Every structure is written in structure tokens, then in C-alpha cells.
A and B are shown apart, each in its own frame.
Chain A
Amino acid sequence: MTISTTILYHEWRKVRDGSCIFGVLLAATAGYAQLAQSFYQVAVITVTLLSLYTVHLVRAFTAEQRQNQLPFQLGLPVSPLKTFLFKYLPGVALLLAGGTAGLLVVSCCEPVRNYFPLTGNWFYLSLLWAALYAFLLMNSQWSEHGIAESILQITIFAGILTVNVLTEFFYAICFGDAARFCATLQLLLILSVPAGMIWTGGIYRNRLRRRLTALAYLVLFLLPPLQFGLGIGINILHLSRLEKQMAEKGIELVELPFGETYTGNPNMTVDTPEKAEHWLNYSDLAPVHRRTAQVLDRTAHHHGQLIDLIMPYRESGYLRETLKAYYLTGNETEFLRTFNYLHSIHFLYNLQPEACLNIFALPDSPLETPAFYRRWLELAARADASILYNRSANNLRAILRQSDDGSLFNRVHAWSRRAWGIKEFLKGGKPLPGASALPAKLIGLKLHYLEHGSLPETLNGPFEYRRLDQNTFTLKTNQTTKISFSAKPKETGK
């Protein structure tokens, strides 16, 4: 036994509280990274945290030295610097390595990522890792409380995580839009784990701490079922409100023209009729009956969770490609149904139907007729009126600039989901002036182009419209959104 092993395993309990705080802060940073998607800020915060933690360690160390505590009291022939390195840095390194390993495992391993269907984001697993390591650091007082006690604690912790993950899993299958609610709660859960564990160290010291520890465990045990129950409540509340709103706005809920099981590549870009055929063939078009928005909502999650095995927002990309596939194969009926569905589903998911307008960039289609666009316009106008939630102009711009693989769209959507949160969702968002009218205007432009062979000179509405030539235009909303593309279909060389 050397000083490194001895001190490594049995001395850092003196800074366990600090380690826990650090773990919590690390977890919070990861959460912040997810919210802000600003890695510069995250880097600054992480460096700050590390600095603070280092200061904390040095202070703890010098205090021990001054007070002649272990291991100094043993008078071992080891320099203070070496003792410090042995004593603290392995713990810090382990904490960071654990977090990094967690991130790598989750980001590189698809099955692992898929196992967290609801959160579906590797940041969450990193939070789990951070919490776990903070917990392990605290349990360096094994020697104090005995192995059995520590095993018990770890078992409890593992049990909590398992229950939580299973709850999330079934929740994700059975219910839909409470995803963001669950994610928020899960974040709280994860943050509360190390916080609760801080008290563990005092489990034998005084009654208050012991009771608080018990309470922390109780909360951790109860949180997943509570989450589940609350989620159901929120979902029902939300959906009944939604149904009412949809009825008021005249939204028609239709059956999806495609099935629930999809084996194709969701990232495939449908931009030719051949690809469209392939797409639809692999989409396994088993019809699904959806009588209510709740069912519709659930189905949407089926697509997101079971079909794509990815986050629900991917489903919108899937639908968009399906929409394009119908367009390219000339299936007007299904196109319009899907378009309507997209409005509905996007309405549910706080998405914009503008994403569908990428269809402008598609090559020639059998549906490139004035009649089709007139019908589409009719439908779009009706759907637009029902849009309650709009993202910011920046997001809209990002969506409109997205590449067809949907990656940017997904990122933006992920951001949006977190940013809005369940509270915003419940109290209702504010429509962005002009944005909701955009699809109709664009479709109107397309209609004008098809009817007259050129773009109009002017365009009414809250837009800054400029015709550049017969085929191209720029359109700017009263926010910062600017669209610039050609109404003329692309050449495909088919």
C-alpha cells in the first residue's frame, strides 16, 4: 500500500462537499450547454468552476497542513506538493474523465443514446455521469461507514436511475408532448442527486442530517412516479386545451397516410421522384386511425421514438420528406393531407409549417399546377390562422436556410423546445408578426408564378418584397427573416 492509493481512496472525504458542489455545478454547466448551445460560454464557466475548485482544494489542503491533520500528522517522508497531487488531483481527474467518458459513450454509441428515448440527448447522460461521480467521490468515506453502507447507497442510487429511466421510457411510449416537462424534471432530479447525497456524509452525525438524507432518498424515489403522474396530468390538460383550440380554429385532424413503422433512412433527402418512390415504399404505409389529438400526439411520438429511434423532432423531418415524396410523385390528396397533418403536428410541437416551404426548391413535379397551389393556399391559409406558437425570427431564418438533411433544423428545434419550456407552452406563445402569414404568401407567390409565368411586382403584407427578375425575389419579414430564392424549379437532370 502506498501513499497514493491510501490517500487517494481515503483522504478526499475531507473535500467531498466541495466535490459534490463541483459535481452539481458541472451538471448545471452541461444543462446550460444544452440550453444555450454556446460552447464558448460553457468553456468559460467550466474553466471558472475548475479554478474555483482548485482554490477550494488548495485551501482545504493548507488548512490540513496548518492544523496538522492526516496525512501530515503521520510525518511521512513525502513532500507537501506530492501529497497534494496524490490526494486531490486523482479525484478531479476521475471526475472529469468520468464526465468525458460519459459524453463519448453517449455521443458515439447509438444504442446507448437510444436508451434515453425521451431526453435523447447526450447532455443528459453527461449529467448522470457527473452526478454519479460526485456521488462516488462522496463515498470515499467507505472506510468510515463500511463497505456495506456504501454498497447500499450505490444500490439505491442505481435503483433510482433505473426506475427513472424505465419511467421515462414507458412515458415516452405512452405519452407525447410532456417530453419537455419530463426533461425539465429530469434535470432537477439529476441535480438533486448529488445535492441530496451531500447529506450522506453526515448520516451518522446528527439527527437533522440523517432525516434530510432520508428525505432526499425519498424524494429521489418518488420523483419518477411523480414525474410520470404529473406528466400525464399535464398532457391531458394540455391536449384537452389543444383540442378545444384546434376546434375553434377549424383545424381538421386527419388520418396519416403512412404507417407507424419505418425502416428507411430518416436522414435521406427526398429530392427526386425516384427517391420519393423509394421513400414511400419503405415507409410501410399502414394506415393509422387517429380520432383525437391525443392519439395523434401519441402517434407522433411513436414515429419519433419507435420508428426513427431518435428524438421526436426528427419526426418532423421525416414527415417533411414524406410530404416532398408525395409532391414529387404527384399524389395531391396525400400531399395535402400530410400538409394538414404537418400543420397539426407542428402545432402540437410548436413547430412552424414554413419548414415545408423548402418544397419550393424541389424540381419539377406533376403537382406544379395552379389548381394544386390554389388548394394548397386555401389549406395553408386556414392552417396559418391556427398557429399559436412561433419561433423567433432567427430560428425561422435558420430553418429556412437549413440544408435538406434537416440537421440544422433539428438543432434549432432542440433549442426551441428547451427555450420555450412547459410553462411557455401552457400559457401560450405570442405569434410572431408576419411569420405566420409567410407560408401563405410564399404559396401565393408560387401560384402567381405558375399562373403568369413570372413573379409579381409587389406583394401586400408585412413583408419587404423585392422582385429581382422574373424568377427570383427576396422577401424580408418585419423581423430579420430574409428569404431569397428562385420560384423557378431546379433542374434535376432526370
Chain B
Amino acid sequence: MSETIIKAENIKKSYGFKQVVDNLNLTVYRGNVYALLGNNGAGKTTTIKMLVGQMEPDSGIISVFGLNPVKYGVEVKKRTAYVAEIMKVYDWMTLNDLFRFVRSFYPSWDEERCQRLRKTFDLPLDRKMKHFSRGMYAKGTLLAAICREPDLLVLDDPCLGLDTVSRRNFMEMLVDSLEGYTKTVLFSTHLIQEAAGLVDRVGIINHGRLVVEEDAAVLQEQTRRLLIPAEQEKQLPELEIIHRRQAGSELFLTVRGDEEATVNQLQAISGFNFKLESLSLEDIFMAYTS
């Protein structure tokens, strides 16, 4: 396994009496694109704020690049680019001003990449940020983050507030911009479908807890939907069932495990009718969070 960039162990955070993050464990490895998936209010933003050092956990340990992100905030921020969920920059700045401003803090700024991506995404340099559409704004702030060439890029729900078309455009842009990108990316979203093509590793957060954390490919490979007649349920062997849903006489089960082993187990039961289907990341997410 490659080097650990982010490690969170048993972190907790509450706002007043409301427990927002509860014993969350999370690990992000170098070079991964890590998607932190969760519904609205699941605790994604709070978790990310703690990970980037903008908020301290009530308990637990967080290390980013091996450092406490609160105590060593400046060192961590030097290597991290963070785009908040509703990112605000100085609205009076033009995009060019914004790039120039941000560039002054990061010696590793990649101007060539910046200009190339800017042209690709058709962003005007001389227009003030406040005059940008929501989609352009998001793209602009994302570019300002990416072009720092950070070791860790953290995006908190970068598509929030975008309409469907803009969201798709944005995610395409994100895919394009991350092409050839060898650094670590952590992003949160509740729009799984758009993120599916990007992700190396997935963490699903539900009610403040990380319910699963796995490589995306492995997760998809090992999570299947099992369709059986409802009356056969009693014959089922011991399987790791994540989610169960009955529709009339049919039973839909989301099961976790090696596909071949599962098939062998089911075929060993005489007269057992079943159908095993692969699942999209969104389906898996739904199964874990329903």
C-alpha cells in the first residue's frame, strides 16, 4: 500500500447536542482520488473541514502528511488546495487577479497548465468573479486550486448548486483537469453518478459514520444485487446482506462478497432460482445509505 496522506482515527464532532461526526475512521493514500460520498447532512463537510484544519475535532486524531492540520496549519495548507462547498473568493477580482493572488502563495503554481485549462474551459481572464455564472465561478475556483499543483486537492461538493448541465460540464472538466494528475484528491459529493468515473477509492458516510471504505473497483466488484423469489429467502445461505428490498413476490438483496464464491454457494442449493447483477456506484451508495 502506498503512503498515507490523510489518516483520521475515531474522530468525533458535535454541534451542541447534535453529533455530526461519530467515530469516523478514514484513510486516503497517495495518488488516490478518494470520493467521500454521503447524503446531505451526513457529515461530509464537517469531516472535510476537520481534515483540512479549519475545524478541530472534539476527539480523535487527524494527520495530514503526518501532521496535525490545526497545529501545523500553515505547513499543511502549503501542500493542500481546498475548494469549499460554496466557494467564495474576492468577488471584486477578475479571474486574472485571482490567479495572480493565489499564485503568490504557491511557488509550485503551474502557469502553463492554468492557461491551458482556462482556454479549454473558456473562462475569460478579465471578467470579475462576481460577474461569473455559478458554473464558471466553480470552474474558476477549481482551476485556482488545481494549478497550485498541490500534493492534496480537497474538493467539498464542487458541484453543489449547479444545474444538471453545468454539473455534467463541471465533472467533465474535473476529469479533464485531473488527467495525468498524480497527486491525491479527496472530494465529497452526493452526486455519485457524476463522480463514478473519477474515483479510485470510496468512503460512504452515513449519519456521521463511515459505513464503508474501499477501492471503488473492489467495491463494485464485490457488491452485487441478488434477485430471488421472496419465498426462497429462507433457503439463502449465509451472505453479507447490505440491503434488502421486497417488491411484490420478488426480493432484491444487495450482497457483499466474492462473486464466484457467492454464485457457487447459491448454485449448490437445489432448485434455487436467482439472478446476480452488477451495481453502479450510485446503487451501492443507495444500498449503504438507505
Binds B, one of A34-42, A70-78, A113-121, A314-322: A70-78
Please tell me if the beta carbons of B92 and A143 are within 8 angstroms of each other in the complex. Answer: yes
- Closest beta carbon of chain B to A460's beta carbon, Å: 81
Interface residue B200 (Cβ < 8 Å from any Cβ of A): no
Please tell me if the beta carbons of B105 and A10 are within 8 angstroms of each other in the complex. Answer: no
* Contact residues of A between 1 and 50, Cβ < 8 Å to B: 1-3, 6, 10
Please tell me if the beta carbons of B89 and A74 are within 8 angstroms of each other in the complex. Answer: yes
- Closest beta carbon of chain B to A69's beta carbon, Å: 8
Please tell me if the beta carbons of B87 and A73 are within 8 angstroms of each other in the complex. Answer: yes
Please tell me if the beta carbons of A143 and B90 are within 8 angstroms of each other in the complex. Answer: yes
- Closest beta carbon of chain B to A19's beta carbon, Å: 19
Neighbour of A79 across the interface among B73, B82, B87, CB < 8 A? B73
Contacts of A6 in B (CB 8 A): 90, 101
0/1 string, A57-80, CB within 8 A of B gives 1: 000000000001110111111111
Interface residue A457 (Cβ < 8 Å from any Cβ of B): no
Total A-B contacts with CB atoms under 8 angstroms apart: 52
- Closest beta carbon of chain B to A147's beta carbon, Å: 10
Q: Considering the chains assembled together, what is the distance between the CA atoms of A353 and B75 in angstroms?
A: 76
- Closest beta carbon of chain B to A31's beta carbon, Å: 36
Q: Considering the chains assembled together, what is the distance between the CA atoms of A140 and B73 in angstroms?
A: 29
0/1 string, B82-112, CB within 8 A of A gives 1: 1010011111100001001110110000000
With A1-B100, A6-B101 as given contacts, are A77 and B87 in contact (CB-CB < 8 Å)?
no
Q: A75-B82, A77-B77 are in contact. List 6 more A-B contacts (CB 8 A).
A: A68-B54, A70-B88, A70-B90, A74-B102, A77-B105, A144-B92
Contacts of A77 in B (CB 8 A): 73-75, 77-78, 105
B45 to A, closest residue via Cβ = A68
Q: Considering the chains assembled together, what is the distance between the CA atoms of A68 and B87 in angstroms?
A: 10
Of A72, A76, A80, chain B has the most CB atoms within 10 Å of the CB of: A76
Chain A residues close to B by CB (< 8 Å)? 1-3, 6, 10, 68-70, 72-80, 142-144
* Contact residues of B between 20 and 64, Cβ < 8 Å to A: 49, 52, 54-55
Interface residue B80 (Cβ < 8 Å from any Cβ of A): yes
Q: Considering the chains assembled together, what is the distance between the CA atoms of A1 and B78 in angstroms?
A: 18
Q: Considering the chains assembled together, what is the distance between the CA atoms of A143 and B82 in angstroms?
A: 24
With A75-B52, A79-B73 as given contacts, are A68 and B84 in contact (CB-CB < 8 Å)?
yes
Would you list 20 pairs from A and B whose C-beta atoms are within 8 A, ordered by A residue?
A1-B101, A1-B104, A3-B104, A10-B92, A68-B49, A70-B89, A73-B87, A75-B54, A75-B81, A76-B77, A77-B73, A77-B74, A77-B75, A77-B105, A78-B74, A78-B105, A142-B92, A143-B90, A143-B91, A144-B92
Q: Considering the chains assembled together, what is the distance between the CA atoms of A6 and B84 in angstroms?
A: 20
Interface size on B, residues (CB 8 A): 25
- Closest beta carbon of chain A to B238's beta carbon, Å: 47
Contacts of A2 in B (CB 8 A): 104
B106 to A, closest residue via Cβ = A77
A142 to B, closest residue via Cβ = B92
Contacts of B78 in A (CB 8 A): 77
Of A74, A76, A80, chain B has the most CB atoms within 10 Å of the CB of: A74
- Closest beta carbon of chain A to B211's beta carbon, Å: 26
Neighbour of B80 across the interface among A68, A75, A79, A142, CB < 8 A? A75
Contacts of A74 in B (CB 8 A): 89, 102
Contacts of B100 in A (CB 8 A): 1
- Closest beta carbon of chain A to B14's beta carbon, Å: 15
Q: Considering the chains assembled together, what is the distance between the CA atoms of A307 and B88 in angstroms?
A: 62
A6 to B, closest residue via Cβ = B101
Q: Considering the chains assembled together, what is the distance between the CA atoms of A341 and B36 in angstroms?
A: 92
B81 to A, closest residue via Cβ = A75
Contacts of B49 in A (CB 8 A): 68
Please tell me if the beta carbons of A75 and B77 are within 8 angstroms of each other in the complex. Answer: yes
Q: Considering the chains assembled together, what is the distance between the CA atoms of A70 and B74 in angstroms?
A: 16
Of B84, B90, B102, chain A has the most CB atoms within 10 Å of the CB of: B90
Q: Considering the chains assembled together, what is the distance between the CA atoms of A165 and B151 in angstroms?
A: 61
Contacts of A70 in B (CB 8 A): 88-90
Contacts of B80 in A (CB 8 A): 75
Neighbour of B90 across the interface among A10, A72, A78, CB < 8 A? A10
Q: Considering the chains assembled together, what is the distance between the CA atoms of A77 and B78 in angstroms?
A: 5
0/1 string, B179-212, CB within 8 A of A gives 1: 0000000000000000000000000000000000
Please tell me if the beta carbons of A79 and B92 are within 8 angstroms of each other in the complex. Answer: no
Q: Considering the chains assembled together, what is the distance between the CA atoms of A3 and B106 in angstroms?
A: 12
A71 to B, closest residue via Cβ = B90
Q: Considering the chains assembled together, what is the distance between the CA atoms of A80 and B54 in angstroms?
A: 11
- Closest beta carbon of chain B to A87's beta carbon, Å: 13
Of A6, A77, A142, chain B has the most CB atoms within 10 Å of the CB of: A77
